[in-house]
Amino acid sequence: MDNKKITITINDQQYKVDAGQTIMQAADQCGYRIPRLCYHPKLSIEGACRVCIVQVAGMKNYVASCAYPVADGMKIDTNSRELRQARRDIVELLLDNHPQDCHTCERDGNCELQRLAYSMGIRHRHFEGERKHYDKDLSSASVIRDPDKCILCGRCVRMCSEIQGVHCLGQAHRGFNTVVMPAYNMPFAETVCTTCGQCINVCPTASFVEKNHTQELFEKLNDPDLIKVAQVAPSVRAAIGESFGLPPGRNMEGQIAATLRRMGFDYVFDTQFSADLTIMEEGSEFLERLQAKGPLPLITSCSSAWMKYMEQFYPDLIENISTAKSPMSMASAMIKTYFAHKIKADPKKILSVAFMCCTAKKYEASRPELDVNGMRATDIVITTRELGWMTKSAGIDFISIKPEKFDEPLGLSSGAGAIFGVTGGVMEAAIRTAYELYTGETLIDIEVNDLRGFKGVKEAKVVMDGQELRLAVAHGLGNAHQVLEMVREDRDRFHFVEVMGCPGGCIGGGGQPYATANSIPLDEECLKARASALYGLDREKTIRRSHENPDVQRLYREFLGRPLSEKSHELLHTHYKAKLPRGIVSPNLKVV
Amino acid sequence: MATQTQELTAPLTDEQKLAQVREFIAEVMTHEHPDSYLIAVLHRTQELYGYLPTEVMDEIAQEMGIPTAHIWGVATFYHYFNLAPPGKHVISVCLGTACYVRGAAQILQTIKDELKIDVGDVTEDGLFSLQPARCLGACGLAPVVMIDDKIHGELTPKKVTQLINQYRKQANK
Ligand code: SF4
Ligand code: SF4
Ligand code: SF4
Ligand code: FES
Ligand code: FES
């Protein structure tokens, strides 16, 4: 963009703005917010909905402000009577063939279409258009597609290809019959979909939602024969406040523990504990490979959408993938063995429930290779959004409830476990521990700043006993693709690579609360605030290194022996294999 | 491209057809903006197979580096692409003006009900596929349907049902 300033007129007032931007961007700078729907600043411009129309002097037709460039001397009207009417007509047209079931809809109260209709001043409906009726696709373990609610803004399609690089979705057929679907209208479970849930995050309506497991959980909580055990991921505590109208970035872990006990859980554990455990295993695996000279780079594997993406698009790198299970699956494995033994309970009587920021964890939990002694390790996965709803539905006062602590013996965590939720955090946590295990010295400056922040691909160097370690971090599957291409080209380029499947890491997971009225999905300010909650948690802790967590030490002493022991291998490690559903194309795709 | 004469020689095997699709793609990939030839590639495929088999679309995705979901989008956008192999007999119902005023809509509905398929689909037994047609140049006989290349005129719902049954009987022989 050039820095030239130009003068434009909006609604009879003159403004100096940067040249080379769209009318919408210029108007945003001048204190306007032109209504919009298909536009998203992180995605390419679609220009499909025409909700953002403005009048430009000298032009016969209204123009879509998200797609039209400003020019010097341009006179723009954003709010004339005719324009307001035209905009309103456009939204009414969308509503005409939209199911009118807001009050039984998953997005009720959280829906961009609802908000838009309200702000257009649509208060009653004159006309009922023809409706579309398609079956919902319920095949996926994580993501439900409901074409009846789709308004064809195309955001999900662009999200899935431009940010995630998965290219699962497209618009098929034409006109009134257009439907967003995967190739050949295949059931979702059979497609390349990684279950990341980012299409859910960007969809303005309820056309993509997660597979809901709240009813099943409520039911099981009523079963007196079950021992109900919960675990809570780091990023859930950093975001759930938003479901209750709090600004993003509040750490609500104490409120969550208190809430889950009132909901009927007997034990509430912390996934941050098992994040420390993951570091012990993965850090040791890294050192072992470093000493044995390979295979390197070691690539992290705790992000479930990333697991599936890697198995589909990069099966040639499987030997580089860490065999350490994710923190969720490690905690679940310990719950059904170590903990069951401690409380002298039959593990089959234990209901293991994971509260996660992630829709892909629902898929991960269903992977048979993660079963423990023939049982599912994680019985139910509930997203942050679902937890917010359950709390309200159970009539629990989340905001003013007195915070409580997590339970022993899987509840204590180091600061390293907390930052697992942010891009770069797993690497930072691993370095804190690996450095000390390798050199025998204490790492003084434990905050590795080069690994922090939201740059798509971050690179850093750490010197360990005279040896330089080259590190890379990627968040969002599209960025992962970039790093992996570098790895394919030159296996010696990095020693250690961290990948998280979602933008920002788990804090931007596909199961996090929807954007509120004043924000947009994937808003970077919101992600920053959530990240700072976790970095704050880290700083508050006296123990900031995983290997110093006394309960992790106890677990090794009493049960596992040492990292990478036979028992650890049996319970805390897994394996991956190539998966090639239809629709896999070499990831060097053109975005068409 | 040396394919215009295929009708004169033995029918191509699927392997030969695929080889031709590949050859065609290899050719377009030498052009600037090869993606813009996607529609041409799909046409070539349909010429060879009579429809767009999904396996071949997978192949095109690989060779051209275009996401399958996008290819599917293009294939479904245009009416002239068939997504299923055509039936043994192709029924074209004329919806031109003359036929229309003389009850083509009713004829079409009768056929749909009888075959239990929609326009563009193929019957479960693979015997018939159904497509709409513009004026077939036999307005004097309206309403008209064409089955394969034979015109049948002055139809009524009853006559068209009989006609379908004749084809069924033949197939059962
Ligand atoms: S998607 Fe939005 S507008 Fe549509 S029914 Fe649901 S809440 Fe209402
Ligand atoms: S869940 Fe992720 S991979 Fe699957 S369709 Fe949605 S955005 Fe694409
Ligand atoms: S599914 Fe949602 S995001 Fe995708 S096109 Fe439809 S309304 Fe837009
Ligand atoms: S927001 Fe500009 S056309 Fe949709
Ligand atoms: S309109 Fe049907 S044949 Fe001419």
Residues B22 and B73 in one domain: yes
Residues B64 and B102 in one domain: no
Residues B42 and B112 in one domain: no
Nearest alpha-carbon partner for A500 in A488, A489, A512, A510: A510
Arithmetic mean of pLDDT, B125-154: 92
Ligand 4 atom nearest to CA at A50: 3
Contact A273, A407 (CB under 8 A): no
Determine if the peptide bond prior to A409 is cis (ω within 30°).
yes
The tokens describing A423, both together, are 């891009």
Residues B167 and B94 in one domain: yes
The phi and psi torsions of A481 (rounded to 5 degrees) equal -55, -40
Total domain count for chain A? 2
Residue B6: what pLDDT? 42
Q: Where residue B1 falls among pLDDT bands split at 50, 70, 90? A: very low
Q: Which of A79, A102, A118 is a domain's end point?
A: A79
Inspect the interface and report whether the beta carbons of A583 and B61 lie closer than 8 Å.
yes
Residues B94 and B167 in one domain: yes
Catalytic one among A46, A106, A253, A282? A282
Nearest alpha-carbon partner for B127 in B77, B83, B173, B91: B91
Tally of CB atoms within 10 A around A324:
28
Mark out chain A residues that contact chain B at CB-CB < 8 A. Answer: 157, 161, 167-174, 181-185, 582-583, 585-586, 588-590, 592
- One-letter amino acid of A227: I
Ligand 5 atom nearest to CA at B96: 1
Rounding to the nearest 10 degrees, give the CA dihedral for residues B135, B140, B145, B147: -100
Q: Which of B48, B77, B106 is a domain's end point?
A: B77
Structure pTM?
0.90
Nearest alpha-carbon partner for A136 in A225, A220, A210, A214: A210
Annotated catalytic residue A302:
yes
Task: Read off the CATH number of the domain in which B151 is found.
Answer: 3.40.30.10
Residue B79: what pLDDT? 83
Q: What number is the ipTM of this complex?
A: 0.88
pLDDT tens-digit series, residues A78-102? 999 999 999 999 999 999 889 988 9
Say if A164 falls within a structural domain: no
Q: Which of A25, A33, A34, A39 to mutate to test the pocket of ligand 4 (most atoms within 8 A of CB)?
A: A39
Output the CA–CA distances (angstroms, integers) from residue A43 to A170, A472, B116, in the order listed.
15, 24, 43
The phi and psi torsions of B131 (rounded to 5 degrees) equal -140, 155
Q: How far is the CA of A305 from the centre of ligand 2 (A)?
A: 9
Question: How far apart, in whole angstroms, are the C-alpha atoms of residue A226 and residue A208?
Answer: 33
Say if B103 falls within a structural domain: yes
Q: Which of A173, A174, A592 sits opposite B70 (nearest CB)?
A: A592
Annotated catalytic residue A361:
yes
Q: Which of A61, A79, A97 is a domain's end point?
A: A79
Q: Name the minimum distance, in Å, from the CA of A581 to any CA of chain B.
A: 11
- Tally the residues of chain A: 592
C-alpha count within 13 angstroms, C-beta hemisphere, residue A306: 31
Tally of CB atoms within 10 A around A104:
7
Contact A522, A528 (CB under 8 A): no
Owning domain of residue B59: 14-77
Output the CA–CA distances (angstroms, integers) from residue B54 to A180, A185, A348, A582, B71, in the order listed.
18, 11, 44, 10, 10
Total domain count for chain B? 2
Residues A75 and A220 in one domain: no
Residue B4: what pLDDT? 45
Residues B48 and B111 in one domain: no
Question: How far apart, in whole angstroms, are the C-alpha atoms of residue A14 and residue A232?
Answer: 52
Catalytic one among A149, A308, A325, A361? A361
Residues A75 and A219 in one domain: no
Residues B93 and B27 in one domain: no
Say if A428 falls within a structural domain: yes
Catalytic one among A112, A210, A311, A364? A364
Say if A549 falls within a structural domain: yes
Question: How far apart, in whole angstroms, are the C-alpha atoms of residue B57 and residue B75?
Answer: 9
When comparing pLDDT for B95 and A2, which is higher? B95
Helices marked H in A440-573 — which ranges? 477-489, 524-540, 550-555, 566-572
Say if A259 falls within a structural domain: yes
The tokens describing A314, both together, are 């990069």
Output the CA–CA distances (angstroms, integers) from residue B151 to A555, B77, B104, B112, in the order listed.
83, 29, 14, 19
The phi and psi torsions of A158 (rounded to 5 degrees) equal -70, -40
Say if B66 falls within a structural domain: yes
Q: Which of A24, A57, A79 is a domain's end point?
A: A79
Q: How far is the CA of A153 from the centre of ligand 3 (A)?
A: 5
Q: How far is the CA of A263 from the centre of ligand 3 (A)?
A: 34
Annotated catalytic residue A322:
yes
Asked whether A39 lines ligand 4 (CB < 6 A), one says yes
Q: Which of B58, B69, B77 sits opposite A182 (nearest CB)?
A: B69
The segments of chain A whose pLDDT lies below 50 read: 1, 589-592
Inspect the interface and report whether the beta carbons of A167 and B77 lie closer than 8 Å.
no
Nearest alpha-carbon partner for A514 in A97, A115, A93: A115
- DSSP designation for A483: H
Question: How far apart, in whole angstroms, are the C-alpha atoms of residue A336 and residue A231?
Answer: 13
Say if A132 falls within a structural domain: no
Question: How far apart, in whole angstroms, are the C-alpha atoms of residue A555 and residue B12?
Answer: 67
Say if A589 falls within a structural domain: no
Say if A165 falls within a structural domain: no
Owning domain of residue A524: 215-572
Rounding to the nearest 10 degrees, give the CA dihedral for residues A551, A556, A562, A567: -130
Q: Where residue B45 falls among pLDDT bands split at 50, 70, 90? A: very high
* CB contact set of A185 (below 8 Å; sequence gap of 6+): A172, A179, B72
Q: Where residue B21 falls among pLDDT bands split at 50, 70, 90? A: very high
Alpha-carbon Rg for chain A, nearest whole angstrom, is 25
Q: Which of B77, B97, B125 is a domain's end point?
A: B77
Helices marked H in A97-233 — which ranges? 112-119, 155-158, 198-202, 214-221
Output the CA–CA distances (angstroms, integers) from residue A500 to A299, A303, A427, A469, B138, in the order listed.
11, 5, 11, 20, 65
Say if A495 falls within a structural domain: yes
Q: Using N-to-C axis directions, what is the helix angle for A425-439 and A271-292, rounded to 10°?
A: 60
Contact A145, A136 (CB under 8 A): yes
